[in-house]
């Protein structure tokens, strides 16, 4: 068992790991396609407005509760009231459930890295992707490999595993992203993609789109499953969290916008549809890569980029339940990680098979993969965030002024925590369930 609670070795280590958690498939895979389905620029404006205002509150709240209690999720909730530990336990459970579909996409990425590396010739990208995900064996093996990578890094501990991985992969991610943005902007007719991203069409503004932007903002900031609460509990010094929260929000938004600038000019340059949904990254982009000079190299760089983003977020998903097992059940980190590896694998395999062999198993009309995505993103993440805001705002009576020096911002924080964020989260869940 770890005798002492781990702490971040520096402020930079904390920021880079928190940004690593936030910047993930949500930014590079989910953000562009959700933006594509929701009208482009108008979605972006709404998203930026929401992420820089409403989202500040639950993000700050989660980190603050972690820093205050210095405990993993269950312990943190328990130290607020002993009966709340059951609500706290929902966080690591959500983590395991998210991992079991998120890590499948990690497995797909490994496949595409391999295909680019071996310069595989693919004639029909739609068919290739759908046949690949329906295959009963190959995606399952790659998913298990991806789970293993994330769990292995976490098992090495905070300093040697989590910090080192983030300090290495995040700069690499930034460099590759900038390189790919330059490549994309140099394509003919790239301006049309930029126009789509930055020239708003106000007729596309509607309530559904606003909630889609809010849901995306919560998901991308990793709010609502205790990953950030756990990361917050490792903060050593008594420094203000405000700057860290802004850095996380700004960096996450910058990565998402850059991902859009990397993808949309390429999509428009090749006259492809911007709203092709989840296949945008696995069908549309590979099709484009196959038609540009040095396409295999560019494709390799792109999927390595996705891989870095997925691993740094994946690690944070594993660390939440891992910390709970270590601190509540007095397990060693290795034992906790082994258990988590098997738990995620057990759930992820049926979810992988739900595109083929187990395709006829439907939960609320969805296959297992889609159901896990729906249950976690639309129900459990907002629910956990809602509980934590209500507990902080109404029961603990957390006051913004104790966290934020600026008294106007502190007052806004209090209103956000007690009223605005709970209402926004309830609307999100209500819409998600309808
Ligand atoms: N923020 C991650 C992304 O954008 O891909 C996803 C995520 C990670 C969600 C960790 C929740 C979490 F706790």
Q: Is residue 222 in contact with ligand 1, taking CB distance under 6 Å?
A: yes
Asked, for residue 1, whether it belongs to a domain, the answer is no
Could you tell me which of 58, 117, 131 has the C-alpha nearest to residue 295? 117
Asked, for residue 4, whether it belongs to a domain, the answer is no
Q: Which residues pair with 366 in a beta bridge?
A: 363
Angle at 67 between CA 51 and CA 211, to 5 degrees: 20
The CA distance from 21 to 252, in Å, is 10
Instruction: Please state, in angstroms and as integers, the Cα–Cα distance from residue 149 to each residue in 144, 198, 326, following that order.
Output: 9, 37, 20
The CA distance from 287 to 137, in Å, is 25
The reported pLDDT for the residue numbered 215 is 86
Asked, for residue 397, whether it belongs to a domain, the answer is yes
The CA distance from 311 to 240, in Å, is 28
Q: How far, in Å, from the CA of 63 to the mean position of ligand 1? A: 15
CA dihedral defined by 342, 343, 349, 352, rounded to 10 degrees?
-130
Domain range for 22 is 11-432
| Three-class secondary structure of residue 223 per DSSP | coil
The CA distance from 92 to 72, in Å, is 9
Contact 233, 70 (CB under 8 A): yes
Could you tell me which of 151, 200, 34, 139 has the C-alpha nearest to residue 358? 139
Nearest CA to ligand 1 atom 11: 222
Q: How far, in Å, from the CA of 39 to the mean position of ligand 1? A: 24
Atom of ligand 1 nearest to the CA of 226: 13
Mutate-to-test residue for ligand 1 from 26, 96, 217, highest number of ligand atoms within 8 A of CB: 26
Could you tell me which of 340, 310, 280, 290 has the C-alpha nearest to residue 169? 310
Which letter does DSSP use for residue 163 in this model?
I
Instruction: Please state, in angstroms and as integers, the Cα–Cα distance from residue 166 to each residue in 114, 294, 312, 313, 338, following that order.
Output: 23, 29, 6, 9, 21
Tokens found for residue 192 = 């049309």
Contact 20, 315 (CB under 8 A): yes
Q: Is residue 219 in contact with ligand 1, taking CB distance under 6 Å?
A: yes
- Give backbone dihedrals phi and psi of 366, rounded to 5 degrees, phi first: -120, 150
Asked, for residue 409, whether it belongs to a domain, the answer is yes
DSSP H helices in 70-222? 73-80, 85-117, 125-134, 138-155, 164-185, 190-198, 207-220
Provide the CATH number for the domain around residue 377: 1.10.4160.10
Instruction: pLDDT tens for the chain, 434 residues: list them.
Output: 455 789 999 999 999 999 999 999 999 988 988 888 888 999 999 999 999 999 999 999 999 999 999 999 999 999 999 999 999 999 999 999 999 999 999 999 999 999 999 988 888 888 999 999 999 999 999 999 999 999 999 999 999 999 999 999 999 999 999 999 999 999 999 999 999 899 888 888 888 888 889 889 989 999 999 999 999 999 986 677 899 999 999 999 999 999 999 999 999 998 888 877 777 889 888 888 888 889 899 999 999 999 999 999 999 999 999 999 999 999 999 999 999 999 999 999 999 999 999 989 999 888 999 899 888 888 899 899 999 999 999 988 888 788 888 889 889 999 999 999 999 999 888 876 66
Q: Is residue 225 in contact with ligand 1, taking CB distance under 6 Å?
A: yes
Q: Is residue 262 in contact with ligand 1, taking CB distance under 6 Å?
A: no
The reported pLDDT for the residue numbered 1 is 47
Asked, for residue 2, whether it belongs to a domain, the answer is no
What is the secondary structure of 314-382 as a DSSP string? HHHHHHHHHHHHHHHH---HHHHHHHHHHHHHHHHHHHHHTTTTTTT--BTTB-HHHHHHHIIIIIIHH
What is the tally of structural domains in the chain?
1
Asked, for residue 5, whether it belongs to a domain, the answer is no
The reported pLDDT for the residue numbered 374 is 85
| Three-class secondary structure of residue 241 per DSSP | coil
Asked, for residue 88, whether it belongs to a domain, the answer is yes
């Amino acid at each position: 068992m770890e005798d002492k609670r781990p702490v971040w070795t520096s402020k930079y280590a904390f920021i880079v790991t928190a940004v690593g958690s936030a910047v993930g498939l949500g930014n590079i895979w989910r953000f562009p396609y959700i933006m594509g389905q929701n009208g482009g620029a108008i979605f972006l404006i709404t998203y930026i407005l929401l992420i820089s205002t409403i989202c500040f509150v639950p993000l700050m709240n989660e980190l603050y509760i972690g820093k205050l209690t210095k405990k993993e999720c269950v312990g943190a909730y328990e130290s607020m009231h002993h009966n709340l530990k059951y609500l706290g336990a929902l966080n690591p459970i959500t983590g395991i459930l998210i991992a079991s579909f998120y890590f499948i996409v990690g497995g797909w990425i490994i496949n595409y890295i391999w295909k680019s590396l071996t310069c595989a010739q693919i004639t029909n990208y739609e068919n290739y992707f759908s046949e690949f995900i329906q295959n009963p064996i190959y995606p399952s093996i790659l998913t298990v490999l991806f789970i293993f990578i994330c769990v292995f890094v976490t098992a090495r501990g905070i300093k040697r595993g989590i910090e080192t991985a983030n300090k290495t992969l995040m700069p690499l991610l930034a460099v590759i992203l900038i390189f790919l943005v330059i490549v994309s902007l140099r394509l003919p007719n790239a301006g049309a993609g930029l126009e789509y991203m930055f020239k708003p069409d106000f007729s596309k503004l509607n309530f559904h789109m606003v909630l889609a932007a809010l849901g995306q903002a919560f998901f991308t900031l990793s709010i609502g499953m205790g990953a950030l609460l756990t990361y917050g509990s490792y903060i050593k010094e008594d420094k203000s969290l405000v700057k860290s929260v802004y850095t996380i929000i700004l960096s996450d938004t910058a990565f998402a916008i850059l991902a859009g600038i990397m993808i949309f000019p390429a999509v428009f340059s090749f006259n492809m549809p911007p709203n092709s949904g989840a296949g945008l990254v696995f069908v549309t982009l590979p099709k484009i890569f196959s038609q540009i000079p040095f396409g295999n190299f560019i494709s390799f760089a792109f999927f390595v980029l996705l891989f870095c983003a997925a691993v740094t977020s994946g690690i944070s998903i594993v660390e939440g339940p891992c910390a709970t097992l270590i601190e509540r059940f007095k397990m060693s980190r290795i034992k906790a990680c082994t258990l988590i590896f098997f738990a995620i694998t057990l759930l992820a395999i049926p979810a992988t098979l739900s595109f083929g062999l187990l395709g006829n198993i439907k939960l609320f009309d969805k296959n297992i993969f889609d159901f896990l995505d729906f249950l976690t993103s639309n129900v459990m993440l907002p629910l956990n965030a809602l509980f934590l805001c209500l507990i902080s705002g109404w029961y603990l009576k957390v006051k913004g002024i104790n966290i934020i020096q600026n008294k106007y911002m502190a007052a806004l924080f209090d209103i956000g925590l007690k009223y605005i964020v709970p209402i926004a989260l309830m609307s999100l869940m209500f819409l998600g369930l309808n």
